Amino acid sequence: MREITYAEAVREAMCEELRRDENVFFMGEDIGVYGGAFGVSKGMLREFGAQRIRETPISETAFVGAGVGAALMGMRPIVELMFSDFISVCIDQIINQAAKLRFLFGGAVSVPMVLRTAAGGGTGAAAQHSQSLESLYTNIPGLKVVAPSTPYDAKGLLKSAIRDNNPVIFLEQKTLYRVKGAVPEAEYTLPLGLADIKRAGGDVSLITYGRMVQMCLDTAEKLAADGIDAEVLDLRSLSPLDADAILRSVKKTRRAVIVHEAAAFSGFGAEVAARIASDESLFCLKAPIKRVGAHYCPIPFSPALEGKVFPTPERIEAAVRECL
């Protein structure tokens, strides 16, 4: 099977849906001539024209609001926020409008909008461009939240998100854009709300998503040299959450280490830990649930300091060994 980058997989998904459905269009800052801040939309303006690849002013409030309005009128907008941190500029449009209008109108309207955005750190982009804000999104009823870790998952999940009749926050960890992976040329989609076992194991469950998936896989391979068989469960979708997959994995391994790039304090891992603790699988555990996340501070610009803030293979390995 061919290998393409994460960015190419995202672009393919958008192009295929633009060709399939005339109601799909794409809007955001620098997405046309420039090809997007991370090169994701290169060539799309040439194929689809300015009516469907819409360059916007630097006003997230305006163009996210326009996306919500377009979705209400039957279109299927893909809206790109250049950095996920910029949600602070247009938070009302997302939280008070997109997420709630279907409920406020008793199901008479829907908001089939995808908000694509580059999330997380690892690029030295400092405190205002490096955050992982997924727990903010998942706390809002009415929003779906997806965080794929591979090109294959990114393409299949994005196509499903575009076809979904609800607003979907699609988080693309920016260091993954150049990562290559196998992606079939044939048409396929992946359902939202299903986790994926990236590595089967029997001694401990590493429950994770996004950039941390590969870090957990690398750590699992290192642990295997010492006879420790770690399972890596990629959540892929945070809302809806595949709680059944989490509980099955934990009941099998009887140990759980939750890993994410966001700050550990009040991060999404707390929800995962609560799901385990409120289920009978709690009584299967041989050790307390461990969480590995970023330290509770703004993300530094300095690469040396940034590397100290986020989870590392050493911290993940230490958490696993504590469980054992």
Q: Is 260 a catalytic residue?
A: no
Structure tokens at 168: 């979907």
CB of 100 within 8 A of CB of 142? yes
Q: Cα separation of 229 and 202, whole Å?
A: 6
Report which residue type is found at 10.
V
Torsion, Cα 199 204 209 214, to 10 degrees, reads -50
Structure tokens at 307: 């590397």
What are the angstrom distances between the C-alpha of 110 and each of 97, 104, 192, 303? Answer: 11, 10, 18, 43
Q: Looking at 129, 159, 174, 291, which residue is catalytic?
A: 129
Q: Cα separation of 138 and 1, whole Å?
A: 34
Q: Three-class SS of residue 136?
A: helix
Q: Name all contacts of 317-320 with Cβ < 8 Å and 24+ positions apart.
A: 317/219, 317/222, 317/223, 319/257, 319/259, 319/290, 319/291, 319/292, 320/204, 320/206, 320/219, 320/223, 320/228, 320/230, 320/255, 320/257, 320/290
Active centre residues (catalytic): 129
